Amino acid sequence: MAHDDRRLQVLRAIVQDYVSTNDPVGSKALAARYDLGVSPATIRNDMAVLEEEGYITQPHTSAGRVPTDKGYRFFVDRLSAVKPLSAAERKAIEKFLDGAVDLHDVLGRSVRLLAQLTRQVAVVQYPTLSRSAVRHLELVPLSTSRLLMVLITDTGRVEQRIVEVPVDTEADTVADLRSRLNAAFTGAKLAEASDKVSDLVDSSPPQLRPLVAAVSATLLETLVEPSEDRLVIGGTANLARGSALDFPGTVRPLLEALEEQVVVLRLMAEVGPSTVTVSIGEENEHEALTGASFVSVGYGSGDQALGGLGVVGPTRMDYAGNIAAVRAVARYVGHLLAES
């Protein structure tokens, strides 16, 4: 039907216009700015239908229309072509991310970059431990009864834990244990580690058992405990830009939710690599995010994501641009981590 087609165009135009101007958009303005080939009156009819179907709404009687969450959702789903990044932007990404010295640095740069590209709040998750593989395990004696365990993964992540060992321990014994541990775990996916731990304990000489058990327990704790999934957040200053206009209440609950990293991590949990996920306004479970949209994607070179990254902003955001930026940064981060 020609109707439906045009109505889609109208919806698209409303979204675009509203995103760029931040003003409710009226039929006249639409007709003037986008050349749809029809008069304002016709557009008004279409708008009435769109409103009835729940795609747009008017803040008050004599104002223009504003997209609803459903409207944005429709718009995003029909987003055929993702706006490719400009050459300058691609270059900026490369320049920004090259020269990172370690994992922390890579993620720190990524989050700043993403915040800058999208002018939104950016979040980057540390590579999830359980999806990484062990590269090296190190034991450092602190005293006769305490060890520092350092775990290095192939994604460059370093975890450290202090282990209280039940019996006094010689330096030689520690060295021995270190090589045993490395022999057992190097290259193993962390998720598979728990099986190996019990094997290792069983196969140890009896007098080493308590030591092995203590270290293994801490190791398992480190691997399994997902609470340590860290998050880097940047660009919160962007929240203060149009605040009153963009977010219903204040930005406060949003900032709180961001600091409460759990909330964001839960959202991240669902992302897959190379498929950008967009959740809009009310679609977000958490109350503080019901006025916001979240664009996220997993990064990682393989088939499964090592972690996620994304941006949080008002529902009234440039979805096409943000999706492109998020995807591009994820790709770069994936490459960088695969290399290191």
Partner DNA sequence: TGCTGGCACTCGGTCCGCGCGAGTGCCAGG
Partner DNA sequence: CCTGGCACTCGCGCGGACCGAGTGCCAGCA
Residues in the site for DNA, rule: CB under 7 A? 2-3, 6, 23-29, 37-42, 44-45, 47-48, 51, 58, 60-65
**To the nearest whole angstrom, how small is the minimum distance from the Cβ of residue 44 to DNA?**
5
In the chain, the amino acid numbered 201 is V
Token pair 């060890």 is at which residue? 147
Out of a second copy, DNA, none, what residue 27 binds, judged by CB under 5 to 8 A for its kind, is DNA
Pairing assessment for the beta strands 134-143 and 66-67 based on DSSP bridges: unpaired
Q: Does 224 bind a second copy (CB under 8 A)?
A: no
Closer of 58 and 236 to DNA (Cβ): 58
- For 91, the token pair is 């270059």
**To the nearest whole angstrom, how small is the minimum distance from the Cβ of residue 74 to DNA?**
18
Closer of 48 and 142 to a second copy (Cβ): 142
Out of DNA, a second copy, none, what residue 321 binds, judged by CB under 5 to 8 A for its kind, is none
Q: Does 237 bind a second copy (CB under 8 A)?
A: yes
**To the nearest whole angstrom, how small is the minimum distance from the Cβ of residue 183 to a second copy?**
13
Closer of 76 and 115 to a second copy (Cβ): 115
How far is Cα 188 from Cα 203, in angstroms, rounded to an integer?
A: 18
Closer of 171 and 244 to DNA (Cβ): 244
- For 144, the token pair is 């006769």
**203-212 contact pairs (CB < 8 A, 24+):** 204/180, 208/173, 208/176, 208/177, 210/165, 210/166, 210/167, 211/165, 211/166, 211/167, 211/169, 211/173, 211/177, 212/177, 212/180
Residue 25 carries which DSSP code? B
Q: Does 256 bind a second copy (CB under 8 A)?
A: yes
Among 94, 98, 102, 195, binds a second copy (CB under 8 A): 102
DSSP string computed for 239-300: GGSSHHHH-SS-SHHHHHHHHSHHHHHHHHHT-BBTB-EEEEGGGSSSGGGTTEEEEEEEE-
- For 302, the token pair is 């393989």
**To the nearest whole angstrom, how small is the minimum distance from the Cβ of residue 321 to a second copy?**
21
Among 150, 174, 208, 338, binds a second copy (CB under 8 A): 150
Out of DNA, a second copy, none, what residue 152 binds, judged by CB under 5 to 8 A for its kind, is a second copy
Out of a second copy, DNA, none, what residue 60 binds, judged by CB under 5 to 8 A for its kind, is DNA
Closer of 160 and 203 to a second copy (Cβ): 160
Q: Where are the beta strands (DSSP E) in 60-186?
A: 66-67, 121-125, 134-143, 146-153, 158-164
Q: Which residues bind a second copy (CB under 8 A)?
A: 101-104, 112, 135-136, 138, 140, 142, 148, 150, 152, 156, 158-162, 230, 234-237, 239-241, 243, 250-253, 255-256, 259, 340
